[in-house]
Amino acid sequence: MDISNISKNVASDNDEEEPDEKPPSTKQMVEALQITRLDLLLLFFFFCVFPQIIPATSTVSLNGQTELRCMTSSSNDGPHSITWYKDGRVMAGRAQKDVLRLVSVSRADCGTYQCLVRRGDGETAQSAATVRLGDAPPIMEYTFIEQTLQPGPTVSLKCSASGNPTPSMAWSLDGFKLPDHPRYLIGQYVTLHGDIVSHLNISQVLVEDGGEYTCTANNRAGTTSHSARLNIYGDPYVRPMNKITAVAGENMKIKCPVAGYPINEIRWEKDGKELPEDLRQKTDLQLGVLSVMSVQKGVDSGSYTCIANNKHGHSAKMTTSVDVIAPPRLSSLQAERTANVGERASITCSVISGDLPLTIAWSKDYDGGPLGPAATVTRVDNYNSVLAFETLGPQHTGNYSCEAGNHAARRVVTQRLIVNVPPVIEPFNFPADGLVEGTRTRVVCGVSHGDPPLSIAWLKDGAPVPLQDGGGEDPSAAVATAAVAATFGNGVGSSGDGSVVVTTLDPYSSLLSIPRLTRHHTGRYTCQAQNPAAQVRYTAALLVKGK
């Protein structure tokens, strides 16, 4: 097929008959060469290049690596070049390479990549792929160091962290919130690479500004922190401490918020008695940390005082109170339960231990997820809550969580509710005016709705029709349903050409066919579909007339 001569040949033929006729159309050109549609298709595949980037989508962890491969397919493979683009811009030094390797992936490497394939005859084709950055916990990229200063100057502490998504940054002093004072100023911004940079500036630093400063970076993938001391020369000073809540059965650690430098030792007392009193308690005289193992309600509650002194005999102290609260403990729930559409259901959440006040809240599928229609919550008393459904529907399938909390902790129990949907049979019919003997007929029973496991069977005038080999049907589709055969056994049906053949097309449809109709095939044919929710039937009448 010489396409270059098509226009010339058609034009010269037409010039003899109608010199003023317009140039031939594409259709005329194709007809002139008697090119079939298949010829055009083969021609298209012969000359065209089909590039594809594998994989089409990549999710890469921060600092991870991946590779993109530009695959070309053509039945006329010849010399060609490959050029890589990122977000529409040529990637320098990437031409002629069918594999693009990305190492130490950062946020800047994410985007849309294209490979452009160019053949020697100038034909081009392209394919695109997307590279995304997966969740990555924060990593500290820059941190401040310990400093020892005289009072007076301005101090700036800096932390920066990377991560995906971009982390948030918070500051604390000796484990407590920063003092509420205008001399403390926090400034932060996000770089072009998505890192968070945070500065804590303290103007005209005073002795009481000394202590251990901590910057904490957090995102949904994790948390990291960095701590270092800021020492300001001066006499001991202990900042006020908030009331502390400890959780019964867990460990407690309190750091004395001491300022001043140098400090000789830091001691702890409880209700006027120096600690430690038993093996569960430990004190660090240099860092001022009190640790209590496995906190006990009624034993470890009370007033705690930390006392700091220096070698010159100067001292300072501050007292705080500790409340030990028992966390909520919930009764267990069955992991999964099933119910049917239209039924009622309820789930009871019971807090079997834990101090008041208690909060109890329900959610569906995720934290704070709405419960959906026809769901009501009743708070029976301080310790019990009931989630009830007056009428269940398919939309109520899901994971239901009860969360109970107090000042100590929060606890969650979850139950999965599966609402079985009954089968719905799509209507089918035989011809209303009947069929003539010797002809053939077939109908399909299709189940448009309903949860598995699903069984489908046929009945004639109330008696089961046995499953038989599909014969002329597609062997791959004619799969017998053993469950149905076992349920209904051998039923009515004639042999030979007059048999009634039932073929399972797929898990949701069944074909009933009669290759050769006789008068005894007249009757009512019923499709019966059943699943754990219900059994439903649909019936159609067949009338067979004589010739």
Pick the last residue of a domain from 361, 385, 420. 420
Residues 152 and 123 in one domain: no
Asked, for residue 477, whether it belongs to a domain, the answer is: no
How far is Cα 245 from Cα 406, in angstroms, rounded to an integer? 11
User: What is the domain extent for residue 381?
Assistant: 329-420
Residues 281 and 372 in one domain: no
Query: ∠ CA 447-451-453 to the nearest 5 degrees?
Result: 95
Asked, for residue 37, whether it belongs to a domain, the answer is: no
Asked, for residue 488, whether it belongs to a domain, the answer is: no
Pick the last residue of a domain from 279, 297, 325. 325
How far is Cα 378 from Cα 391, in angstroms, rounded to an integer? 16
Task: Name 205's bridge partners.
Answer: none
Residues 428 and 537 in one domain: yes
Greatest extent of the chain over all pairs of C-alpha atoms, in Å? 125
Residues 345 and 386 in one domain: yes
Residue 36 DSSP one-character state: -
Q: What does DSSP say about strands 222-232 and 147-149: parallel, antiparallel, or unpaired?
A: parallel
Asked, for residue 5, whether it belongs to a domain, the answer is: no
The string of pLDDT tens digits covering residues 273-299 is 999 999 999 999 999 999 999 999 889
Taking 70 as the threshold, does the pLDDT of residue 43 lie above it?
Answer: no
How far is Cα 56 from Cα 165, in angstroms, rounded to an integer? 22
Asked, for residue 485, whether it belongs to a domain, the answer is: no
Taking 60 as the threshold, does the pLDDT of residue 195 lie above it?
Answer: yes
Given this model, what pLDDT does residue 477 score? 34
Given this model, what pLDDT does residue 498 score? 57
Residues 212 and 261 in one domain: no
Domain count, the chain: 5
How far is Cα 403 from Cα 413, in angstroms, rounded to an integer? 7
From first CA to last CA, the distance across the chain in angstroms is 58
Q: Tokens for 233?
A: 């020369």
Residues 189 and 254 in one domain: no
Q: CA distances (Å), 24 to each of 11, 20, 436, in order?
A: 7, 12, 56
- Which H, E and C letters describe 457-502, residue by residue? EEEECCEEECCCCCCCCCCCCCCCCHHHHHHHCCCCCCCHHHCCEE
Residues 449 and 512 in one domain: yes
The CATH number assigned to the domain holding 143 equals: 2.60.40.10
CB 268 within 8 A of CB 289: no
The SS3 assignment for 32 reads helix
Given this model, what pLDDT does residue 222 score? 93
Residue type (1 letter), 177: K
H or E segment at 38?
Answer: helix 37-47
Pick the last residue of a domain from 232, 249, 276. 232
Q: Tokens for 142?
A: 């820059």
Q: What is the mean pLDDT of the chain?
A: 85
Taking 80 as the threshold, does the pLDDT of residue 53 lie above it?
Answer: yes
Residue 93 burial (10 A CB sphere; 0-12, 13-18, 19+): exposed
Q: Tokens for 117?
A: 């394939």
Residues 355 and 405 in one domain: yes
pTM of structure: 0.57
Radius of gyration of the chain (CA): 40
Given this model, what pLDDT does residue 41 score? 41
Q: Which residue from 348, 330, 334 is spatially nearest to 410, judged by alpha carbons? A: 330
Q: Tokens for 339?
A: 């119910």
CB 530 within 8 A of CB 455: yes
Q: Tokens for 215?
A: 């910057």
Asked, for residue 71, whether it belongs to a domain, the answer is: yes
| CA count, 13 A, side-chain hemisphere, 122 | 0
Residues 209 and 105 in one domain: no
pLDDT band at 76 (very low <50, low <70, confident <90, very high): low
Given this model, what pLDDT does residue 467 score? 59
Residue 72 DSSP one-character state: E
DSSP strand E in 233-383: where?
A: 234-238, 244-247, 252-255, 258-261, 265-270, 273-274, 281-284, 289-292, 302-309, 315-325, 329-330, 336-340, 345-353, 359-364, 375-379
The SS3 assignment for 422 reads coil
Cα 59 to the center of its chain, rounded Å: 13
Percentage above 90 pLDDT, the chain:
63
Asked, for residue 16, whether it belongs to a domain, the answer is: no
Task: Name 464's bridge partners.
Answer: 459
Residues 430 and 412 in one domain: no
Residue 277 φ then ψ, to 5°: -105, -25
H or E segment at 366?
Answer: none
- For the segment 450-454, the average pLDDT, to the nearest whole number, is 87
Q: What is the number of residues in the chain?
A: 547
Residues 537 and 450 in one domain: yes
The string of pLDDT tens digits covering residues 88-137 is 888 876 555 788 989 888 888 889 999 988 887 778 888 999 998 888 89
Asked, for residue 22, whether it belongs to a domain, the answer is: no
Q: CA distances (Å), 350 to each of 331, 336, 411, in order?
A: 6, 17, 12
Residues 539 and 428 in one domain: yes
